[in-house]
Amino acid sequence: MTLKAQWYRDRLAKKARRGFCGYPVATVAFYGPDDRRATKVS
């Protein structure tokens, strides 16, 4: 295995060990009368 492939494999394994880290802290939603104009943001 090349050095770069080994590096990518190790990085992916590290992320897999961490597991699920939770849900997003915030969600932004745009509301409006149609899909081209937003009048409210929440």
Identity (one letter) of the amino acid at 32?
A: G
Predicted pLDDT at 2: 87
- Predicted model pTM: 0.41
Confidence at residue 18, expressed as pLDDT on a 0 to 100 scale: 81
Confidence of residue 42 (pLDDT cuts 50, 70, 90): confident
pLDDT value, residue 19:
75
Over residues 1-41, the pLDDT tens digits come to 788 889 889 998 888 888 777 777 788 899 988 878 888 88
Determine the pLDDT at residue 35.
79
**Domain spans, the chain:** 3-41
Angle at 16 between CA 4 and CA 5, to 5 degrees: 10
